[in-house]
Structure 1
Amino acid sequence: MVQMPGLVLPSYYLYYSSPVKIVETSDGGARVWRVSIDTGGWQEENDLFTEIVFDIGGEVFRQSPEDFVQEVERFRAHYLQGEGPVFALYETVQALRDAAEAQGRSLSPKEQALIRGIRKRTFVMFEEQLRAAGDPGADPEVAAGDAA
């Protein structure tokens, strides 16, 4: 992987509506991880490095860690189906959104905050499950705001 002075890692992006993160390797290089549309886990896609970092693809948007967590969970909730606490919380978020839409209104600030809190929690839960299953890209600490 190419080393670039001035590139602060980890860094977070939306790449064609897909959450992607670039993290530092132990040897000072970088790895690119993209959320899998099939599993919600992390797929290593280092071939995207140049396109993302140099923004030559067009649909590349840098994100804060907080916004990245929200996008990852929005992505997972949209594409994945399953059972258990994480999926029950995804359904709760969708129910809040559906209720507001049925009433012809935007989400209230309280509802928006609730959804952000739920997504932060589901991110940690999902990432902890991935880590326990051996996914090398899993990183629940991103949601703690420690990673910038």
Structure 2
Amino acid sequence: MTIETPAYFRHHDSPYRLDKTADGGLAGSILSLRTGRFVEDNDKIDDVLFAQAGDIGTLTEQQFVIRTEDLRRDYLRGGGPIFALYDTISAMHSVAREEGRPLSREEAALKVSLYRRTFRMWEDEFARLDAGEPPTFGYTSTLAQ
């Protein structure tokens, strides 16, 4: 079976990504709600490639980013620009909910744009941390450590 990578999936409620390894194999990673990072999890590769169940499925890159950032916004708390953008998105949802309506087309487009930005900001932060640099902001998970 040939698969284009990166490939994006939903494994139960979590975003899951497949990438090619240097030797041509596959490596999988799943979002940790405790850290906001994608962590290696190769045990789910067969699940996502050969799944028959409704709780596992493919995602587009945009759906993957939205699901990832929805979960980060729901489970992570902190300061700095990422969380300010999350607050903006939460405020849009609150106004729409109070008005008894879904997000408008413009609001939904803004949400996607902000999520693309926060997704990139997380990737940049984790790359800095992996390079041994200090964190640029603090955050915690709502889940017990």
Query: Under TM normalisation by the shorter chain, which class is it?
Result: 0.7 to 0.9
> 1:95 maps to which residue?
91
Asked if residue 52 in structure 1 is aligned to residue 75 in structure 2, the reply is no
Structure 1: tracts of 5 or more residues without a match: 136-148
- The alpha carbon displacement at 1:57 in A equals 5.0
Please provide the CA RMSD for this pair: 1.3
User: What is the CA–CA distance in structure 1 between the aligned matches of 2:74 and 2:86, rounded to whole Å?
Assistant: 9
Q: How many residues of Structure 1 are paired with residues of Structure 2 in the alignment?
A: 131
Residues 13-28 of structure 1 mapped to structure 2, 5 A cutoff: 13-28=9-24
- The alpha carbon displacement at 1:58 in A equals 4.0
Residues 20-99 of structure 1 mapped to structure 2, 5 A cutoff: 20-99=16-95
TM-score by length of 1: 0.84
Aligned counterpart for 2:122 among listed residues 108, 123, 126: 126
- The alpha carbon displacement at 1:103 in A equals 1.1
TM-score by length of 2: 0.86
Higher strand share: 2
> 1:145 maps to which residue?
none
AA partner of residue 22 (structure 2): S
- The alpha carbon displacement at 1:93 in A equals 0.2
Structure 2: tracts of 5 or more residues without a match: 132-145
AA partner of residue 96 (structure 2): A
